[in-house]
Amino acid sequence: MMPRFHAQDEHLMDYAAGSLAEPIAVLVATHLALCPACRARVEAFEAVGGALLEKLGTEAIDRSLRDSVLAKLDETDSECAPPPSVRKPAPIDLRVPEPLRGYLGGGLDTLAWKARGPVDEVRILREHAGVTSRLLRIKAGTPMPHHTHDGNELTLVLTGGFTDRGDHFLRGDVAAADSSVDHCPAADPGEDCYCFAVNDAPLRLTGPIGRLLNPFLRI
């Protein structure tokens, strides 16, 4: 089944340009492995970018612009992720497409899950300050606690599905949420839902009980 909910064009363009933060790039790339439509859009963006670079190559580049670009490259070189060949090969778990699979070091059933109420999680890509990346396992038929976001969240469904605000998300779908959203996604009955979620700010529980718990929780 083809995904119905896709990565946003701004993320696809930034992915094509190579300018996404690694956690978001991994989520987008994993979505692309499951979504031919978004792969085609990325190829189109890459073609446009290539044409622009070819045109720029025939024109003189302002010296200050060149120096600024080179300085930026120097700043980011140390932050680049190691090439995939450096990471240990992971056991094959076909529920998890590459490139995400290469970051896990094991299949979904072998990971060190930590319970957080109705949701289990595994943190990955911890070295990226300000961005939280985690695998989520939502128990079948169970809603998450009501919550909102202090920033932006992208969630990619790996297996199973969940319903959120009237939309039904399945394998390969990407759900986006921000501070305007107060919700409680619920996993489909009969099967645990596994997701990969990336947040650029903490979640915040809502409702009377959630507001009491917030001082003690940083999700």
Query: Judging by beta carbons within 10 Å of its beta carbon (0-12, 13-18, 19+), is residue 190 exposed, middle or buried?
Result: exposed
**Taking a C-beta distance cutoff of 8 angstroms, is the pair 188, 162 a contact?**
yes
Please report, in tens digits, the pLDDT of each residue of the chain (219 residues total).
899 999 999 999 999 999 999 999 999 999 999 999 999 999 999 998 766 666 665 454 455 544 554 454 455 444 444 444 445 555 589 999 999 999 998 899 999 999 988 899 999 998 888 899 999 999 999 999 889 999 999 999 999 999 999 999 999 999 999 999 999 999 999 999 999 999 999 888 886 544 444 444 445
Element (H, E) at 34: helix 22-34
pTM tops 0.85, yes or no: no
Domain ranges within the chain, ordered by starting residue = 1-219
**SS3 assignment for 40-71:** HHHHHHHHHHHHHHHHHCCCCCCHHHHHHHHH
Mode of pairing for the β-strands spanning 153-159 and 114-116: unpaired
Question: Quick one: CATH architecture of 1-219?
Answer: Sandwich (2.60)
Euclidean distance between CA atoms 75 and 70, whole angstroms: 9
Of 182, 140, 150, residue with least CA distance to 164: 182
Element (H, E) at 102: helix 101-104
Euclidean distance between CA atoms 117 and 144, whole angstroms: 8
